[in-house]
Amino acid sequence: MGLQAVEKVIATLQRRIEQQGGRARLGASDLTALERAIGKRLGGKEQARCQDLLERSHRHFDRDALRLLEALAGAPAPGRRPVRFARRAALKTGVVEQSALTFLGERHGFVTVDDESGTIWRVPKPTAGQRTLAAEALGEADELTGLEAVTFDAARSVLLVASASTRAVYELPLRLDGARVEVGEPRRLGKLPAIGSEANSGWEGMTVVSGRLFADGQDRLAVIHERAPRGVGLFRRDTLAADGFVLLPRAMEAALPDLSDIAFDARTGHLFLLSDEGQTVFEAELVVRERRLGGSKPVVVRALIPIGATPLPETSGKRRLQPEGLAFDERGDLWIACEHGSQLIPLRRVER
């Protein structure tokens, strides 16, 4: 859709709003013409016009229509605020090459993986005043090499890990009812597709996304691709069948020059993306919608709405934090695993 067509559609919408005054209420069906462009990257001028419509008229759209308009504009509606976090003192895990992070629960704490040895580590949640954590090796296997992603699927009580070098994804059953975490043998779930052309810039972190975001009610795996292309791949949880790829909106590109991990926030239903080079966590809402245009077959539309960024603390000296892992705990606090200094940085959630 070119600029002229976008201008024509927006002018029609604005006339309707002006004619109806304060009573104007537009739904998703009123955005059909603009929706034709939602799966594509609009040009800067087209996107600016959508942003102008969003700024001026956002109160006249219902929730579904507003989310579609935000996705087209690549910006949140006025008044939308990101989750706020307050930094707490960093802790030491002792895991030298920690490359991802997930949370098991209050009793057993976190799991991180070592991208050099393929070791899976349990890191206990700290008690008050504790600064050094005693990481415990849960096991390793020959096939678990180059691990760059880990996530806990609580509904199935399994750990999911992914190798950046082989693109293979494995499930490991967990027993959490005892004093110690027991890990079963890995089962290969499948292999992520080969995309992109840059070496050592492929699939990185992953998270389980609740089925409440999808029409079929089924969970997905969201896996981030570090760069070229930079974005989020969606895969069927049980089969690893590809279900789409969402590129970063322009508004997120500068803050996230690369991607190192991703986490799903059950409280908001939003995704949080971590950048090593950008030293930033960015909150975004995933829009997934099936639409029909005329007599055509249904088209699934996927987009990210940027909500806001949380910069990570700067380090003294020349070394970066190298943030590689991201996870929420049961309270909704965010934890960042960094290679530099084997640090675990807690960001306490500030209630709105």
Residue bearing tokens 């077959």:
297
- How confident is the model at residue 340, as a pLDDT? 87
3-state DSSP assignment of residue 296: coil
> Do the Cβ atoms of 26 and 13 come closer than 8 Å?
yes
- How confident is the model at residue 231, as a pLDDT? 96
What one-character DSSP code corresponds to residue 349?
Answer: E
Rg of the chain (C-alpha set) = 21
Read off the pTM. Answer: 0.93
Supply φ then ψ for residue 186, to 5 degrees. -70, 140
Q: Output the six-digit token pair for 18.
A: 């002006």
CA distance linking residue 54 with residue 33, whole number of Å: 16
Relative orientation angle of helices 63-73 and 44-57, to the nearest 10 degrees:
150
Residues of the chain with pLDDT under 70: 1, 36-42, 200, 291-299, 315-319, 352
Q: What are the tens digits of pLDDT across the range 106-135?
A: 999 999 998 888 899 999 999 888 899 999
Supply φ then ψ for residue 23, to 5 degrees. -80, -10
How far the first Cα of the chain sits from its last, in Å, is 39
Q: What are the tens digits of pLDDT across the range 215-258?
A: 899 999 999 999 999 999 999 999 999 999 999 999 999 999 99
> Do the Cβ atoms of 48 and 3 come closer than 8 Å?
no
